Amino acid sequence: MRVTLIQNNPQDNVEASLAVVGDLIARAAEQGTDLIALPEYYAFMGNTVVEHRDAGQQFEAISGRMAELARTNGVAIHAGSLAELRGNRTFNTTVVYGADGAELARYSKIHMFDIELPNGDVIRESDIISRGDEVVTYSLNGWTVGCTICYDLRFPELFRALRDRGADLIFVPSAFMLDTGRDHWEVLLRARAVETGCYVAAPGQVFKHAKGARACFGHSLVADPWGHVVAQVSDVVGLTTATLDRDYLATVRARMPVHNHHVLN
């Protein structure tokens, strides 16, 4: 199966951001791929509670456009994440579409990014976003695909739960911060691949946003089940495609069957 990761830099103009995403999806489909994955908050990256809440009001409209892009390009889309408004609560939600535009899966981020930076800045995702509570996989082209989002990467128990549900490929759409990304991004993604014996694919945002001083690390990548990086995007808005090999997946799992050796629940 061929998997394409899109790396983008959404700004305050949702239409402009979606235009870039649409062009990259069309380019990937033309080059040939089975599944395209977008970053976390691929359409808009807000800086305040109000901005995130308002972005959540656009969830259905943007989701409809993603479904149409999947249908018109004839390719499945793992649509990163958007703010999703449910009643008076907002979630950070991935929606996955088949090549016919039908919804295949929906996942809401479980782990909230609540930290205090060394410079004293406080980031509390939980002030804006409600926590999801469901481990989600879906099937595509004979592969079982697991869903995570960004900060979930730091919690290997979620990746183990996905592997327990049969995952062969795990996505990590992200807006990973530049400062932590320099040291943690690649090593964590490769570790999750080795621990689970899965392909791990992580499309990320890159560069700064219109109103924000913080920058995203980018370096979207695919790690194979042995932990090798087999595809990566440079410091650009762009894409990369990797071919996933089921025979190689089986070989790695036979050589290092760690999934059969867990003794702690």
Tokens of 263: 């003794």
Tokens of 17: 């951001």
Which of 109, 147, 198, 216 is an active site residue?
109
What does each C-alpha distance from 200 to 130, 162, 195, 231 come to in angstroms?
A: 25, 12, 11, 11
Catalytic residue at 150? yes
Short-list 227, 234, 206, CA closest to 17: 206
Beta bridge mates, 85: 90
What does each C-alpha distance from 92 to 19, 111, 224, 260, 261 come to in angstroms?
A: 21, 10, 27, 33, 34
Which of 147, 150, 198, 216 is an active site residue?
150
Catalytic residue at 198? no
Q: Using the 8-state DSSP alphabet, how is residue 130 labeled?
A: B
Beta bridge mates, 82: 93
Per-state percent for the chain, helix, strand, coil, to nearest 5: 35, 30, 35
Contact at 8 Å (CB) between 74 and 99?
yes
Short-list 70, 18, 12, 64, CA closest to 42: 18
Q: Beta-carbon neighbour count of residue 204 at 10 Å?
A: 27
Is 184 exposed, middle or buried (CB count within 10 Å of its CB: 0-12, 13-18, 19+)? middle
Tokens of 163: 């592997």
Q: How far apart are CA 221 and CA 201, in angstroms?
A: 6
Catalytic residue IDs: 40, 109, 150
